[in-house]
Amino acid sequence: MTDLKTLMDQATDRGTPFTPDVGELVAAGRHRTRVRRALMSTAAAATAAAAVAAVLLSGPFRTARSEPQPAVTPTVARPAAVTDLCAKSDDFFRTANDDAWRATVVRTWTDTVVEVSDADGSMTVRRSPDGSQYAYCVAGVPVHKKPVGGFGATLLNTGIITRQYQIQRYWSTACGDEPNDRSDFERCQGIRYSYAGRVPEGVTRIAFSGLGQHADATIKDGYWVHRIYTDNILKGNTDPVYVTMFDASGKQVFRDEY
């Protein structure tokens, strides 16, 4: 209709008579209608394709966000610690080398006074069945089925003024606190120091510092124990371990390097 009106307007402006071709106008109108319908169909198809693509793309991401997979932390079974060194608290040198005596302690001295344990083993003070004697016992977690908790060295009365400050120290190869199957000895090149002693009269706190660590010993029933780990024995040259004792008022009454 718009084209007919335009042609009629043009005919009015012409100086010569004009007769529009109705067949041509109808054909032109049908052509434009087909073009318009084709364009609309193409646009609708494009919109539908985009919607399908959006669903396909967003589906996996929604699933990943709504169903997170829990982290799996592998657990490594650790063999039980084996007591492989015991020494009488007031007679270390004789009893530490007496295998029969140590076997008796491990088997029959079941009264534990105080104990600390970690991934590498434990340090324990045990009391005899009659309650008259005490022993320091070190237990180690085996590496290649061999105990590692009781060999090494001990320092007896180093820097000690009176016998009541007697301090025992043992060292052994250790793996540290991280999970480890301990089947490869190359992984166990650290050192675990074990300390034990009587609590001197008046002492209420025994502090350890060194090897980048600060902690208090465990005290109970007149005895104390403590263990400390380092992944490199040479660290003790630049950051040695100090044992410091304090009384109830917080006054330092003893300090020495071990």
pLDDT digits (tens, 9 = 90+) for 197-234: 999 989 999 999 999 999 999 999 999 999 999 999 89
pLDDT > 90 in the chain, percent: 34
Asked whether residue 157 carries a pLDDT value surpassing 70, the answer given is: no
- pLDDT per residue as tens digits for the range 169-182: 888 888 888 776 67
User: Quick one: DSSP state of residue 102?
Assistant: H
Q: What is the pLDDT of residue 114?
A: 97
- Beta strands at 190-198 and 167-174: parallel, antiparallel or unpaired: antiparallel
DSSP string, 221-237: TTEEEEEEEES-TTHHH
Q: Report if pTM > 0.75.
A: no
Collapsed DSSP state (helix, strand, coil) of residue 136? strand
For 80-122, the pLDDT digits (tens) are 778 878 888 888 778 888 889 989 999 999 999 999 999 888 9
The pLDDT of residue 187 is 73
The answer, yes or no, to whether residue 66 has pLDDT greater than 50, is yes
